[in-house]
Amino acid sequence: MTRVVALCVAAALYSSCAGLSRPPQSTSLDHGVLIARASSKGALIRFLRSEADAGVIEALDDRGQPMPELKSYSGLAAGGYIVFFDLPAGRYVLKGASFAARGVRYRLLVPEGDLAKRAAVLRPASAAYLGTYHYDSRWPDLETALKRCARIVGHWLTPWTRRPVLPRDGDFRFFDSSPVSEIDGLHAVRGALSGTSWRRAVDARLRELGAAEPAKTTGTLLPKPLPLHAEAMLSWRDTLEWGQPRRAAQGLAWRRPGGAAQIAVYYTTVAPSGLPGWEGAVAGLRRAAAASVEDSGEVFEVRVATRSGPSARTTTYQYPEATLVGSRTIVVQTETTLIPDGSGFYTFRLRAPREEFSEVLPAYREFLLQIVLGPQKPTKEKEREYLMPGLSTP
């Protein structure tokens, strides 16, 4: 009964509005979010695409059969994707989508067959992807076109009347639910979901997929991704604007221009002579955290590129040379993160005076997310498989 009530409430909310100003709050801790995309290529200007901004989904039962009484409507879109909120766990499939143009709304017809292949499984309190539907528009016959033009002009003359909904003539081309496509969709919508539980669900799904952060761009009119600087052990983007690092064997170090903050990155192979292996390094990290009385003493997770590893923060006191002990003290904070690798582990370290540490920390964390771990590999253009058997049309 709870499932039916939740979906009925969602239908009432979203069918009445095709453009919500902000995402709704969750009515249950177990409810999740679904995203879908329906894209239609222009009939006249082929490179132009119309992205659906409203749609309807339907729940499937345990046998994969549709349950028409369990539908949910959405009129909120972000980044070219329709977003369906506040849904209980289950299996869902996209049943329809539409977009606004020329003062009316065009409806895209979704294929009826192969529901099991197009269905998305939504787990409790999670995010899932319904896939992308690609259409190729075509002009209707002359009589149909004239009738629709009359309806469009009639609505222009009577804008207070209900907006007409017209079918979009076109052919369904292919359906894409690949991990690459899902990652693109999750990245496209998460900014609009900031500050909500839905954003946490989207971020959790991206971590589950091992998705890298989108490359940071530079420029306003024609933004371009910051270039990757390839090193022997990783590649990095200059999001810090600290310039080139100092290089050593299996190590890099940056110093903040005009400041004292430093970043060090180095790679350690598994248990070389005189150095601890992964277990020993983690144990040392925990001891250092526990011994730092001014810090929490906890070991927490920090993400680097597509991986996460243990991290700890410590506070130490430095006495500059040629000064009496206690006469001048510099309080230094250090955050160290370890990332396991197949043949060893990476160490990432930020060290800065206390007053500078909190200022630099957000930029440092962004820098870590933009790193590509491992030696640079030659790139090859690979054709992505979009077509699914039974869903493509000639």
pTM of the model: 0.72
| Max CA pair span of the chain | 95
Q: Which pLDDT value is given to residue 8?
A: 43
Joined tokens for residue 278? 């992964």
Q: What pLDDT shows up at residue 394?
A: 29
261-320 tens-digit pLDDT: 999 999 988 765 666 788 888 998 998 888 876 666 789 999 999 999 999 999 888 766
Q: Is 245 part of any domain?
A: yes
- 61 and 155 in a single domain? The answer is yes
**What's the domain range around 254?**
229-373
Q: Identify the three-state secondary structure at position 300.
A: strand
Residue 196 lies in a domain: yes
In a domain, 129, yes or no: yes
Split at pLDDT 50, 70, 90, the class of 4 is very low
Which helix (H) or strand (E) covers residue 304, if one does?
strand 300-304
Same domain, 352 and 324: yes
* CATH number (domain holding residue 290): 3.40.1000.10
Q: Does pLDDT of 26 surpass 60? A: yes
pLDDT digits (tens, 9 = 90+) for 130-176: 999 988 877 676 777 677 677 777 767 777 877 777 777 777 888 99
State whether 166 and 236 are in the same domain.
Answer: no
Q: Are residues 289 and 201 in the same domain?
A: no
- 247 close to 229: Cβ distance less than 8 angstroms: no
186, 140 contact by CB (below 8 A): no
The domain tally of the chain equals 2
When pLDDT is averaged across residues 202-231 and rounded to a whole number, the result is 88
Task: Region of 98 please: left (phi>0), alpha (psi -120 to 50) or beta.
Answer: beta
The burial of 250, by beta-carbon neighbours within 10 Å (0-12 exposed, 13-18 middle, 19 or more buried), is given as: middle
Q: What is the distance between the alpha carbons of residues 83 and 85, in angstroms, rounded to a whole number? A: 6
Q: Which two tokens stand for residue 61?
A: 């039962």
Q: How far apart are CA 86 and CA 12, in angstroms?
A: 13
Domain final residue pick, 155, 177, 209: 209
188 domain-assigned: yes
Tokens 């409203």: give the residue.
54
Instruction: Write the pLDDT tens digit of every residue in 323-344.
Output: 555 556 778 999 999 999 888 8
Domain assignment present for residue 31? The answer is yes
In a domain, 173, yes or no: yes
